Amino acid sequence: MSTPAWARGPGETTGSFALESAMDELACALKMDPLALRLKNFAEVDPEGDKPWSSNYLRECYAQGAEKFGWNKRNPAPAATRDGDWLVGQGLAMGIYHASRAKASARARLLPDGTLLVQSATADVGPGTATVMTQIAADASGVAPENIRFELGDAAYPEAPGQFGSHTVASVGAAVHDTCVALKQQLLNLAFSVPDSPFAKAKLTDLVAEGGTVYLAGHPGTSRVYGDVLRQAGQPALEVTHESPEVPEKGEKSGKSFCATFVEVRVNAHTREVRMSRIVSAIDAGRIMNHQTARSQVYGALTWAIGLALMEDAVLDHRFGRITNHDLANYHVPVNADVPLTIDVLFIDQPDTYLDPMGAKGLGEIGIVGVSAAIANAVYHATGTRIRELPITPDKLL
């Protein structure tokens, strides 16, 4: 029998179910709004070590999520809202997950045709790493994204960390950014120093490189495209390899990503079947590099959170140490019919430049942290029954 391991997110996912359920239970005992209780106990610094946050927009997550959800219209009394045969409940929870940056390297190679090749031994298991790295390279180098090729997934490329722990964008992205910035500076030096340079009478600091062109600030007509600079200097290519350092989790500041999740459920008054009605997820993950891929990543996190909360349950035969529901016919995971039609993902989109020059924080895991508790809290609000063990199946509500 294998030891338990991360499947639907890290340890923060399962731990947050207990903590955020307890917060809701405390709010009920105090006859206090669960959101008001969290705001009253907001931590201005990280309680673990009293370190300042690198950034913390959890209050904004609460405010924007509550407004979008319509939290102020919620009837606080449990089992008081009904729609025909369905009991309606609303719940919330917050999530927190570490945001750090590991050591990573990248290589950038500018060719005379103006194209840029960027390489790093990172991976892309689905979140859109190649897309985001191309965007970062474009911003840092001044080369248009359509003229950039990002290569990954090969150990022959410059070293990068594994794709886990919500640190790929911060880590590899920082390396790609720093490498492309260094490459652009070399290009400016080359454009300034080549024989018969149109910039010879200017200052190096007056040169600008963007849009695939080096030009003189204030005089855009005095310019050279990147490829012409290489050809004029007789260079077959311009190449830079750079390693960017880590920003450890135990650094001077506490780097964390945050979320606030608001959910509405419907519980059948007779069968106690639980159905998800809608979800609002408000997330502080620093500057969002690509809203489309980021939103899709959160959709995936919320879908697996529904599985964790309502249906996933590995049943062990203790006689033989075997999982009895070892296939998808018997181990239930969410399908389209289990996912609510209304899912709103809100990004605070405020940069955190302590962690990396792009201002990104981790996004991969934060979307699922706390969501199972929000669902359980909504089930309590609908039925008046507190469930402390997942999954929340009808038999536990009968």
Residues tagged active-site = 365
User: Is 101 within 8 Å of 246 (Cβ atoms)?
Assistant: yes
| Distance set, CA 4 to CA 1, 7, 314 (Å) | 9, 9, 11
Buried b (16+ CB within 10 A) or exposed e, 190-204: bbbebeebbbeebee
Beta-bridge partners for 86: 83, 268
Those residues whose C-beta lies under 8 Å from the C-beta of residue 102, and which sit 6 or more positions away, are 161, 165, 167, 171, 246
Rounded to whole angstroms, how far apart are CA atoms 96 and 284? 10
Task: Give dist(CA 112, CA 232) in Å, integer.
Answer: 10
How far apart (Å, rounded) are the C-alpha atoms in residues 348 and 329?
Answer: 39
| CA distances (Å), origin 101, targets 46, 104, 162, 205, 386 | 18, 9, 12, 31, 39
Measuring CA to CA, how many Å separate 52 from each of 39, 97, 222, 236, 358?
18, 15, 47, 48, 20
